[in-house]
Amino acid sequence: MSTVRIMTKNGWCRINGSCDLKDKDDRISALETQMAAQQAGYESQKRLNEQMMEMMEMMKRMYPNEVFPNIQDP
Element (H, E) at 26: helix 24-62
pTM summary value: 0.54
8 alpha-carbon distance from chain centroid: 23
- 12-36 pLDDT, tens digit per residue, is 666 555 555 567 777 788 888 889 9
Q: Is the pLDDT of residue 1 over 80?
A: no
- 44-72 pLDDT, tens digit per residue, is 999 999 999 999 889 888 888 887 766 66
